[in-house]
Structure 1
Amino acid sequence: MHQENGSRGPLPTHPQRIMMNLWPGTGVDGWLGPFTYSGQRTATYDWVKYTRY
């Protein structure tokens, strides 16, 4: 696991959040098809990349 140390530029100094979600596609049955899974819904992410604009 890589931990950023500021070697590629200044690190943020204000509290921030990265928000991610798991979307089952509810409400778009016309092009996605009906969502029928009834088990537990979770998301697992191996890594996340943030690119500053």
Structure 2
Amino acid sequence: MLARGEYVIPIPGTKTPKYLADNAGAADVELSPADLAELDALPTPDGGRY
């Protein structure tokens, strides 16, 4: 989500301090243009959210 632009802000939920640390560490992940293109090429999900 952070690669999508300055105005896209993920709001992760968390239940434990470990999950909070995992979520914070995700900010250090950098996706290449090829990675983003591969993700963009995935089909959209079918059906509703729940």
What's the TM-score, normalizing by structure 2? 0.25
TM, length-normalised to structure 1: 0.25
Of the two, which has the highest radius of gyration?
1
Of the two structures, which has the highest relative contact order with CA contacts closer than 8 Å and spacing of 6 or more?
2
